[in-house]
Amino acid sequence: MLKVVVCVSGGGTNLQAVIDGVQKGSVTNVEIVRVISNNKNAYALERAKNAGIEAICVSPRDYAGREQFNEALTREVDAVSPDLVVLAGFLVMIPPQLIKKYENRIINIHPSLIPSFCGTGFYGLKVHEAALARGVKVTGATVHFVDEGMDTGPIIMQKPVMVRDDDTPETLQRRVMEEAEWIILPWSLNLIANGKVTMENRQVRVSE
């Protein structure tokens, strides 16, 4: 059983997709042992509790500085000794010590086809605003391992989504979630949990 901690900041629809996958049996060998939010009002925390998963908040507001927050977050992850950390819409800088400690054991879902519309400042709706402003005809989502950079880690899986002429950032965000994110995040997790994902020289290979 892969012990998983999921980190969230907001609505938690990606968390829900993972919970549903585990409950339905399309995601096997996974136990979500804890959900951590940096935002105490995140609806994602309710989703976790409704599924009987321990849900806690570690907010930067409760600490004197960034270093103290980083230490607390790392401590709360360590406390449950996870095999994998899933960032499912976690919109804070990941502590460097956490990245180091969990090398190749942190994955993130990003709402674009990396390397487009990613890196500093590209999160949530901003990603879709930028994609529409650039006029791309195809966007999508990416699941990747997390390294020291911002959205620069090895790519595990991507799924494209067509942009429509009448899309707004909101409609595009919703379709990217429905057609890509909620599919590839649980799918990637299932593959990792069942030993189907390997990496060599930062290249990920998936065997089905």
Instruction: Give the nearest distance from C-beta 205 to ligand GAR in angstroms.
Output: 24
Instruction: Give the nearest distance from C-beta 76 to ligand GAR in angstroms.
Output: 19
Instruction: Give the nearest distance from C-beta 126 to ligand GAR in angstroms.
Output: 8
Instruction: Give the nearest distance from C-beta 117 to ligand GAR in angstroms.
Output: 10
Three-state SS at 206:
strand
Which strands make up the sheet holding 30-37, listed edge to edge? Answer: 55-57, 30-37, 2-8, 84-87, 106-110, 138-145, 155-162
Q: Is 110 an active-site residue?
A: yes
Cα–Cα distance measured from residue 57 to residue 72, given in angstroms and rounded to the nearest whole number: 11
Q: Which is nearer to ligand GAR, 82 or 144 (CB)?
A: 144
- Catalytic residue selected from 34, 47, 110, 128: 110
Residue nearest to ligand GAR (CB): 89
Dihedral (C-alpha) 145, 147, 151, 155: value to the nearest 10 degrees? Answer: -30
Cα–Cα distance measured from residue 91 to residue 114, given in angstroms and rounded to the nearest whole number: 17
Q: Which is nearer to ligand GAR, 11 or 169 (CB)?
A: 11
Given the rule CB under 6 A, which residues bind ligand GAR?
8, 10-14, 44, 88-89, 109-111, 123-124, 127, 177, 181
Q: Which is nearer to ligand GAR, 177 or 191 (CB)?
A: 177
Q: Which is nearer to ligand GAR, 2 or 180 (CB)?
A: 180
What element of type H or E holds 14?
helix 13-24
Dihedral (C-alpha) 82, 86, 91, 92: value to the nearest 10 degrees? Answer: 30
CA angle 127, 133, 137 (to 5 degrees): 85
Catalytic sites, residue numbers: 110
